Amino acid sequence: MIATNYLIVGSGVAGLTFAIKIAERFPDRKITIITKSNEDESNTKYAQGGIAIVTDETEDSYQKHIDDTLICGDGLCDVDVVKMVVTEGPKRLKELIAWGAKFDKTVKGNFDLGKEGGHSRNRVVHHKDQTGYEIERAILEQVHQKENITVLNHYFALDLITQNNHCFGAYALHEKTNEIIPFQSDFTVLATGGIGHLYGHTTNPVIATGDGIAMAFRANAAIKDMEFIQFHPTALYDASAGSKFLISEAVRGFGAYMRTQKGLRFMINYDERGELASRDIVSQSIDLELKKSGDDCVYLDCTHLDLDAFIKHFPMIYERCKSIGIDIAKDWIPVVPAQHYLCGGITVDKNGKTSIENLFACGECSRTGLHGANRLASNSLLEALVYSEKIYDYLADVSIEKSQFNGIISNWESAEKPKISPDYLAKMKVQLQLLMRQNAGIVRNELDLPKAKEQLLHWKNEMEEVSKTHQISVALYELLNMITIGNLIVQQSIDRKDNRGGFMKV
Q: Could you please report the per-residue DSSP string of 107-118?
A: TTSSB--B--TT
* Neighbouring residues of 107: CB distance < 8 A, sequence distance ≥ 6: none
In this structure, is the dihedral angle defined by the CA atoms of residues 196, 197, 200 and 204, taken in order, positive or negative?
Answer: positive
Q: Which residue, of 337, 356, 386, is where some domain finishes?
A: 337
Q: What is the CATH number of the domain that holds 92?
A: 3.50.50.60
Q: 387 and 353 in one domain?
A: yes
Q: What H or E segment, with its residue span, contains residue 290?
A: helix 279-293
Does residue 136 share a domain with residue 33? yes
Q: Confirm whether 189 is domain-assigned.
A: yes
pLDDT bucket at 411, cuts 50 / 70 / 90: low
Mean pLDDT of 307-316: 94
Per residue in 129-183, pLDDT (tens digit) is 888 889 989 999 999 999 999 999 999 999 999 999 999 999 999 999 989 999 9
User: Does 275 share its domain with 207?
Assistant: no
- Asked if 240 and 354 sit in the same domain, the reply is no
Residue 504 counted as domain residue: no
Domain count, the chain: 3
Contacts of 120 (CB under 8 A, 6+ apart): 64, 67, 68
Whether residue 115 sits in one domain with residue 205: yes
Average pLDDT over residues 289-310: 95
In this structure, the answer to whether residues 128 and 274 fall within a common structural domain is no
In a domain, 137, yes or no: yes
The CA distance from 141 to 130, in Å, is: 17
Quote the pLDDT of residue 293: 94
DSSP 157: E
pLDDT per position as a tens digit, 100-113: 999 999 999 999 99
List, by residue number, the catalytic residues.
Answer: 279
Q: Which bin fits 382, alpha (ψ -120 to 50), beta or left (φ > 0)?
A: alpha
3-state secondary structure of 51: strand
Residues 133 and 190 in one domain: yes
- Mean model confidence pLDDT for the chain: 93
Flag whether 368 is in a domain.
Answer: yes
Q: Which domain holds residue 430?
A: 422-495
Same-domain pairing of 267 and 295: yes
Are 268 and 316 within one domain? yes
Whether residue 416 is contained in a domain is answered as no
- Torsion sign, CA atoms 310, 202, 367, 43: negative
> What pLDDT, on the 0 to 100 scale, is given for residue 60?
96
Point out the domain boundary residue: 320, 337, 354: 337
Assigned domain for 350 exists: yes
Query: Which among 136, 152, 114 has a CA at the least distance from the CA of 4?
Result: 152
**Residue 157 and residue 293 share a domain:** no
- CATH number of domain containing 286: 3.90.700.10
256 domain residue, yes or no:
yes
Q: What is the pTM of this model?
A: 0.93
435-479 pLDDT, tens digit per residue, is 999 999 999 999 999 999 999 999 999 999 998 889 999 999 999
HEC profile of 51-67:
EECCCCCCCCCHHHHHH
- Do 299 and 191 share a structural domain? no
- Higher-confidence residue of 204 and 129: namely 204
Domain boundary among 288, 307, 337: 337
pLDDT tier, 221 (very low <50, low <70, confident <90, very high otherwise):
very high
Residue with the larger pLDDT of the pair 379 and 402: 379
403 found inside a domain: no
328 and 348 belong to one structural domain? no
Q: Which domain CATH number covers 491?
A: 1.20.58.100
Q: Are 328 and 293 in contact (CB under 8 A)?
A: no
Q: In this predicted structure, which of 44-53, 117-126, 387-396 has the lowest mean pLDDT?
A: 44-53
